[in-house]
Chain A
Amino acid sequence: MLRLFDPLRTLLALLLLLAGLWWARTGDYFGREILAEMAVFAIAAMGLDLLAGFPRLVSMGHGLFVGIGAYGYAVATALWGWSWPAAILLALALSALAGLLVGLATVRARDVFYIMATLAFGQMGYVWVVRSAELGGDDGLAGVPRPELAALGLDLGDSATFATLLVLLAAAVYLLLGRLLASGFGRTLVAIGQNERRVRALGIAPGPYRVAATTVSGTVAGFAGVLAAMHSMYVSPELFHWTWSGEVLTMAILGGVGSLVGPALGAAAVVWLKYAVSGWTEYWGLFLGLFLILAVWTGGQGLYGYLERLRAWLLRTLTRQEEADARGDRTGQTLRRSHRHRPGVAAGGEG
């Protein structure tokens, strides 16, 4: 289960939100573009965390949902001339449906088989879109509008307004998913991730929970797709491709799965690094790969894992200090126990 108001997590989420808002106000044009991209990836990565971090289902096909969301919005607005709220609803419905179907189809798959199954569904979507002349094939679809919010006095064509909106939406997704995961539903998902057989023995069928989690995760990814389409005002099949899914997974892992805020941090870090590194070398993949390997090597708990360790160390040091100050005082003990063990990546996937 995820403790929604864990102080460290809340602090980090608030810091990210404030940094985003500050950056949207003060950054230059390119910085705001990058910020909007970070927010889109953060939402996709948080959606993925719902599967990878809790029931420990490693999806390599999240591009499918992102792509369906993006194309759903793009087709409805650019080709059919729908209004933007209707288009968003359609896109979310389609990605939820896709999540439901993939969830049902993969309900028995475990470990490597789950990875392969999601990969296969994602690639099927990719091939289908690339071959579809109506969807613009490999060239994609242009002319995707951003919502018209002039009535509220907002101009989403302005990059600062748009980036601010996306940062706020990412925060909203964080709160919604946090709420969901802090519930009994979230507890069951974690239990499934730890030992599916035991969950079954307790008389709970894991199937419906897995399907529900995939549906929610797919919808969130679809929402990220809608925002990606608005951001670029353009959609292309690369959203479906497995390397794209791999990149989102990378962000989630680097940030630290199972913490919700970690993947958002990972998304921001990877997007930033990508632009920073590609400023002086064209071999960006070299660094991405290196970071991935280092992340796994150093325990696999991602950036958030480091922060937790740092907190634990600080608490230990502080309490030792306190204990030294006031011998016999029990506060140190309580504080120490409050650092609960969180299984990292290393324990994942075995079953």
Chain B
Amino acid sequence: MRKRYLAVATAALLAGTTAVAAREYKVGLLLPYSGVYAALGKEIQAGFELGLEHYAAELGEDTIRLLPEDTEVKPAVGLTKAKKLVLQDKVDVLAGLVSSGVLAAVRDFVDGAKVPLVVANAGNIHATGKQCSRYIIRVSFSNAQITRPMGRYMAERGLKTVVAMAPDYAAGRQDVEAMRGAFEAAGGKVLKEIYTPFRKTKDFGPYLTEAQATGAEALFVFYAGGEAISFMKQYASFGLKDKLPLYAAGFLTSQLYRNAIGEAALGSINSLHYVTTLDNPENARFQQAFQQKYGRVASEFAVQGYDAARLIVAALAASKGDKEKFVDAARTTTFASPRGPWRIDPATNNIVQNIYVYQIVQGPDGRLVEKVLKVYENEQDPPNGCQLAG
């Protein structure tokens, strides 16, 4: 799987046309294939490859070669690999990045080397805020973007008090702060913020007991991956579903591991930038092709990879390999995606997209699916100190 050079032959080549001036673009894919985020890295790559299959034909006779490198979720390794891709392999574009730590590590290098980087996951608000760069374009989400609407939604539902829980690291704190800002602006009150040791806490019992003791009306959390699975099951086993309803950033019940959580996920209310059951033609085509190719329902991570590939194809087609033109094109390209319409905010290079608030319910076939309760359209982050010329 690793190191497989994926040559995407275009329709023209397949037809046997002699491609005289066809050029091969190199796309460096920086993703974790080992370590705690390995599953995410593989899911994003799956989406990315499908995106190339669907859209690479837009390049005409030109082709794309994919150079995947394992960041191992280690910032120093990620930086070394980024340098290798840029300085040695001379890639035209970089894409990927799951962990915000790795993104922070490569930021200065990418900015200095003036190589476009399309971020397909890492959600640190500063990456499109005070540390933004003209060359770093994010098609995934920002942490605040996901949870700010949730703060508003909880207030709209008439909640007055909530208690928040999140892992004690940058993303956890940014998620909670954005929720709190929106919730308290609408008149609510966050009674307590509980931060659990990151990547270490597997026993949430003491924290859940504490959250319950605050007497809040609801519990807001941000957990993802393995922590999300443990958290959901323990939340359910403490019988908190009736007493302390759960609101969360949607990574808690991501399609990627929703089946592992099982029925414990039922009833929780989540906010996310993608919902597998969205009713639009792009999503129908995407999910159908993904399920056929990989045999599972595509998650938001796959969509991020898919859209990243599509944006790269479009910008390459418009720029013909010129990096400055690539950035200009990427910043202005818009298209209808499986997750609905989106565009890149020229002020920050962050994506502007719909955020869906949904509840996990049992579908007719018994599968756990999302029921959309409300859509917050074109959710846009404030510049947060980013000074990109519009």
- Interface on A for B, CB 8 Å cutoff? 28-30, 33-34, 37, 127, 130-131, 133, 136-140, 142-143, 159, 228, 232-234, 236, 238, 278-284
| Chain A CB within 10 A, most for which of B74, B76, B83, B131 | B76
Among B104-112, B246-254, B357-365, the stretch that binds chain A is: B104-112
Whether B2 and A282, one on each chain, are in contact in the complex, defined by CB atoms closer than 8 angstroms, is: yes
- Tell me how far the C-beta of B244 lies from the nearest C-beta in chain A, rounded to whole angstroms: 26
B97 at the interface (CB under 8 A from A): no
Determine how close the nearest CB of chain A comes to the CB of B106; give it in whole angstroms: 9
**Chain A residue with Cβ nearest B122:** A139
Q: A143-B108, A228-B76, A232-B76 are in contact. Are A28 and B88 (CB under 8 A)?
A: yes
Min distance, Cβ A143 to any Cβ of chain B, angstroms: 6
B84 at the A/B interface (Cβ < 8 Å)?
yes
Contact of A131 (CB < 8 Å), options: B104, B105, B168: B168
Q: A139-B170, A282-B38, A282-B70 are in contact. Are A236 and B101 (CB under 8 A)?
A: yes
Distance in angstroms from B273 CB to nearest chain A CB is: 21
B residues less than 8 Å from A233 (CB atoms):
79, 108-109
Whole-angstrom CA separation of A233 from B108 in the bound complex = 9
The count of residues in chain B whose C-beta lies closer than 8 Å to any C-beta of chain A is: 31
B245 contacts chain A at the CB level, 8 A cutoff: no
CA gap between A320 and B197 in the complex, in Å: 65
The answer to whether B80 has its CB under 8 Å from any CB of chain A is yes
Residues 52-102 of B at the A interface (beta carbon under 8 Å): 70, 74-76, 79-80, 83-84, 87-88, 100-101
B105 close to A278 (CB less than 8 A): no
In the complex where A142-B107, A234-B75 touch, is A33 in contact with B83 (Cβ < 8 A)? yes
Check if B124 is an interface residue, CB within 8 A of chain A: yes
Residue from A136, A234, A283 in contact with B34 in the complex, judged by beta carbons closer than 8 Å: A283
B87: A residues at CB distance < 8 A: 29-30, 159
CA distance A149 to B108 in the complex (A): 20
Contacting pair A238 B75 (CB below 8 A): yes
Quick check: A30 and B169 within 8 Å, CB to CB? no
Residues of the B chain whose Cβ atoms lie less than 8 Å from the Cβ of A34? 80
What's the Cα separation between A106 and B168 when bound, in Å?
30
Contact A137 to B169, CB < 8 A, known contacts A30-B88, A33-B84: yes
In the bound assembly, the distance between CA atoms of A152 and B253 in angstroms comes to 57
> How far apart are the CA atoms of A30 and B87 in the complex, in Å?
8
Closest chain-B Cβ to A228's Cβ sits at a distance in Å of 7
Measured CA separation A280–B100 after assembly (Å): 26
A130→B87 CA distance, assembly (Å): 31
Q: In the complex, given contacts A130-B168, A142-B131, A283-B34, what are 5 additional A-B residue pairs having Cβ atoms less than 8 angstroms apart?
A: A29-B88, A30-B83, A138-B169, A236-B74, A238-B76
Interface residues in B138-180 by Cβ distance below 8 A to A read 168-170, 173
Question: Measuring CB to CB, which residues of chain B are less than 8 angstroms from any residue of chain A?
Answer: 1-3, 33-34, 38, 70, 74-76, 79-80, 83-84, 87-88, 100-101, 104-105, 107-109, 124, 131, 168-170, 173, 197-198
A26 smallest CB distance to B (angstroms): 14
CB <8 Å contact, A138 and B80: no
From B79, B168, B197, contact of A234 by CB (8 A) = B79
Residues of A within 8 A of B124 (CB): 139
A236 & B198 in contact (Cβ 8 Å cutoff): no
B33 proximity list for chain A (CB < 8 A): 282
> Which 3 A-B pairs rank lowest in CB-CB distance, beginning with the nearest?
A138-B169, A30-B84, A29-B87
A281 lies within 8 A of B2 (CB): yes
Q: A133, A138, A282: which contacts B198 (Cβ < 8 A)?
A: A138
CB-CB nearest in chain A for B75:
A236
Q: Which of B88, B100, B105, B109 is packed against the most chain A CB atoms within 10 Å?
A: B105
- Are A236 and B83 in contact, with the CB atoms below 8 A? no
Which one of B1, B2, B101, B109 has the highest number of Cβ atoms from chain A below 10 Å of its Cβ? B101
Closest to B80 in A: A33
With a cutoff of 8 Å between Cβ atoms, the chain B residues found around residue A280 in the complex are 2-3
Q: Is the CB of B76 within 8 A of A236?
A: yes
B1: chain A residues within 8 A (beta carbon) = 282
Task: Choose among A140, A143, A279 the residue that contacts B101 (Cβ–Cβ < 8 A).
Answer: A140
Q: Is the CB of A130 within 8 A of B75?
A: no
Bound together, the chains give a CA A130 to CA B108 distance in angstroms of 22
B261 to chain A, nearest CB (A): 24
Which residues in B have their C-beta under 8 angstroms from that of A133?
173
A139 & B38 in contact (Cβ 8 Å cutoff): no
Closest partner residue, chain B, to A133 (CB atom): B173
Contacts of B3 in A (CB 8 A): 279-280
A232-B81 Cα distance, complex, nearest whole Å: 11
What are 7 of the A-B contact pairs (CB < 8 Å)?
A29-B83, A130-B198, A232-B79, A234-B105, A236-B105, A280-B2, A281-B2
Residue of B nearest to A36 (CB): B80
Distance in Å: Cβ of A235 to nearest Cβ of chain B: 8
Interchain CA distance A28-B89 in the complex, whole Å: 11
A125 to chain B, nearest CB (A): 14
| Chain A residues within 8 Å of B109, by CB | 233
| Chain A residues positioned under 8 Å from B79 (CB to CB) | 232-234
Measured between beta carbons, the chain B residues less than 8 angstroms from A29 are 83-84, 87-88
CB <8 Å contact, A138 and B170: yes
Residues of the B chain whose Cβ atoms lie less than 8 Å from the Cβ of A139: 75, 100-101, 104, 124, 169-170
Distance in angstroms from A182 CB to nearest chain B CB is 34
Q: Is the CB of A138 within 8 A of B101?
A: yes
**What residues of B have a CB within 8 angstroms of the CB of A140 in the complex?**
75, 101, 104-105
Which A residues touch B2, using CB under 8 A?
A: 280-282
Which residues on B sit within 8 Å (CB–CB) of A136? Answer: 104, 170
Closest chain B residue to A233, Cβ basis? B108
Contact yes or no, B104 A238, CB < 8 A: no
**Are the CB atoms of A232 and B105 closer together than 8 Å?**
yes
Chain B residues in 8 Å Cβ range of A232: 75-76, 79-80, 105
Contacts of B197 in A (CB 8 A): 127, 130-131
The CA-CA distance from A37 to B76 in the complex, in Å, is 10
CA distance A159 to B75 in the complex (A): 19
**Distance of A137 Cα from B99 Cα, bound (Å):** 13
For the complex formed, measure the closest distance between the CB of B98 and the CB atoms of chain A, giving whole angstroms: 13
**Chain A neighbourhood of B169, CB < 8 A:** 130, 137-139
